[in-house]
Amino acid sequence: PPIGQMFNLSDFESVAKQTLTPGAWAYYSSGADDEISLRENHNSYLRIFFRPRVLVDVKDVSTATTMLGVPTAAPFYITATALAKLGHPDGELSIARGAGNENIIQMISTLASCSFDDITGAALPGQSQWFQLYLNPDRSISRKMVEACEKAPSIKGIFLTVDAPQLGKREKDMRLKFDDDADAIVKKGDGDKIDRSQGATRALSSFIDMQVTWKDIDALKKSTNLPIVIKGIQRYEDVILAVEHGVDAVVLSNHGGRQLDYALSPLEVLAETMPELRKRQLDDKIEVYIDGGVRRGTDVIKALCLGAKGVGLGRPFLYANSSYGEDGVIRAIQVLKEEMDVAMRLMGVNRIEELNESFLDMKAFHGR
Ligand code: FNR
């Protein structure tokens, strides 16, 4: 269908389901085990309702804000996902261009299917990107990646993913094995050591170290002046530890339900984390981000009301990019931004900083 008929992010998902190869659809859409966390990531948003203000002048609404000190058109970002080329020949490059066009931040995966230099090279002057790091068992490889980040003018932060010491059991993906498409795309280093027998997911896991600990956080923090963010925190105690280790931000995430099934939805973790940070007067010491299951402008606003600084989306942008390339990425951003504009006006809010918990009714959320 023409792109003008994409009215929300689910429309892109429907098109992607019909047009992606079975292998690509399985890799993108799957969650771990019974996909309970995958489902809950989104469903937890359905349990929060709004308490709007009326009789407020809302002519001049704006979603602009900053994340890690960088200006952005809206408080959502395109999070790191591997293998964008499985869906579109331009892979991460069209995502970079779409993001740049709309002044939205893109996080580049360690397992991207285009090269780091090409993706950062696709950035417009002044465009900001983040880099998602998996620590390699061979730390000299990781060190080189950090050095490359420091040299790339677009890179404004490094996100270390910590929820994947072992990759989750994604059965849709395993059933399809590792097809030739994916094989051609995975070109990261030691191809000979890849185990192709259990799906794309398992094949990629050989690049990820199982022995990453807080010591590595300290070492990473010391090794660079770029902001360091831990991605994949799943309980408030680890957020407190992150503050103690001096990291700049955390992403509450269960990897889009692809790792530990029955991991709490990040929205639930956010709701338990912010009061604990405030109690200890640590809430201004660290920025808290969240990803997983965000599909509407109202979802972004709910997370922000609960104290998130920004919100990441993964699959929706893979789907938009797969079907329509750069134009799809642009359209998806615009759709989400327009949904935010509408919701903010209808809530009596003009600025992102005005959002707070008083706008939420949490009875159904806490009644779970
Ligand atoms: C991911 N995710 C991910 N995370 C990461 O740190 N490095 C990676 O390489 C990938 N790769 C990846 C591939 C695919 C196909 C998906 C769907 C996800 C997790 C991602 O960053 C994010 O946590 C989730 O995608 C958020 O959930 P939603 O928005 O997809 O529901």
The atom number, within ligand 1, closest to the CA of 292 reads 27
Digit-coded pLDDT (tens) for 101-114:
999 999 999 999 99
Q: Looking at residue 193, what is its pLDDT?
A: 46
Q: Is the pLDDT of residue 161 over 60?
A: yes
Give the pLDDT score at 209. Answer: 86
CA distance 364 to 271: 13
Kindly state if the Cβ of 97 falls inside 6 Å of ligand 1: no
Q: Is 83 left (phi over 0), alpha (psi -120 to 50) or beta?
A: left
For residues 311 and 167, the model is more confident at 311
Average pLDDT of the segment spanning 273-289: 97
User: Considering only CA atoms, which residue is closest to atom 14 of ligand 1?
Assistant: 81
Lowest mean pLDDT among 173-187, 192-206, 229-243: 192-206
Beta bridge partners, 313, equal: 78
Whether ligand 1 lies within 6 angstroms of the CB of 295 is answered as: no
pLDDT at 66: 98
CA distance 338 to 354: 18
Contact 158, 228 (CB under 8 A): yes
Q: State yes or no: pLDDT of 32 exceeds 90.
A: yes
Q: Rounded mean pLDDT of 74-100?
A: 95
pLDDT digit string, tens, across residues 314-325? 999 999 999 999
Asked about 163 being catalytic, the answer comes back as yes
Measure the CA–CA gap between 261 and 35, rounded to whole angstroms. Answer: 6
47 lines ligand 1 (CB under 6 A): no
Predicted complex ipTM: 0.99
For the chain, what is the mean pLDDT?
Answer: 92
Q: What per-residue confidence (pLDDT) applies to 192?
A: 43
Q: Is 134 a catalytic residue?
A: yes
User: What per-residue confidence (pLDDT) applies to 197?
Assistant: 54
User: Average pLDDT in the 206-223 region?
Assistant: 91
The catalytic residue among 163, 248, 291, 299 is 163
Is 80 exceeded by the pLDDT of residue 23?
A: yes
| Active site annotation includes 327 | no
Instruction: Read off the pLDDT band of 168 (50, 70, 90).
Output: confident
Ligand 1 mean position, distance from CA 259 (Å): 10
Query: Region 343-347: what's the mean pLDDT?
Result: 98
User: In the prediction, which pLDDT does 25 show?
Assistant: 93
pLDDT of residue 140: 93
Are 83 and 27 in contact, with CB atoms under 8 Å apart?
yes
**pLDDT over 70 (residue 297):** yes
Q: Which of 250, 255, 264, 295 is the best mutation target for the ligand 1 pocket, counting ligand atoms within 8 Å of the beta carbon and taking the most?
A: 255
Q: Which of 186-195, 205-214, 312-321, 333-342 has the lowest mean pLDDT?
A: 186-195
Residues 309 and 315: their CA atoms lie apart, in Å, by: 20
Is residue 191 scored above 70 in pLDDT? no
Residue 218: its pLDDT value, please?
Answer: 97
Distance CA(49)–CA(361), nearest Å, equals: 5
Q: Is the pLDDT assigned to residue 186 strictly greater than 90?
A: no
Which ligand 1 atom is at minimum distance from the Cα of 313?
A: 29
> pLDDT class for 12, splitting at 50, 70, 90?
very high
Residue with CA at minimum distance from ligand 1 atom 19: 255
- Confidence band for 183, pLDDT divided at 50, 70 and 90: low
Q: Is 170 in the pocket of ligand 1 (CB under 6 A)?
A: no
pLDDT at residue 199 tops 90: no
Protein residue with least CA distance to atom 1, ligand 1? 81
* Angstrom distances, CA of residue 72 to CA of 20, 67, 97, 152: 31, 7, 15, 19
| Torsion angle (degrees, nearest 10) of CA 245, 149, 87, 330 | 90
Residue 184 clears pLDDT 70, i.e. is over it: no
Residue 198 clears pLDDT 60, i.e. is over it: no
Q: What are phi and psi of 74, to 5 degrees?
A: -160, 155
Q: Which of 43, 29, 74 is nearest to 341 (CA)?
A: 74
Specify the pLDDT at position 196: 52
Residue 259 Cβ contacting ligand 1 at under 6 Å: no
pLDDT value of residue 179: 53
Residue 172 beta carbon below 6 angstroms from any ligand 1 atom: no
For the segment 194-211, the average pLDDT, to the nearest whole number, is 66
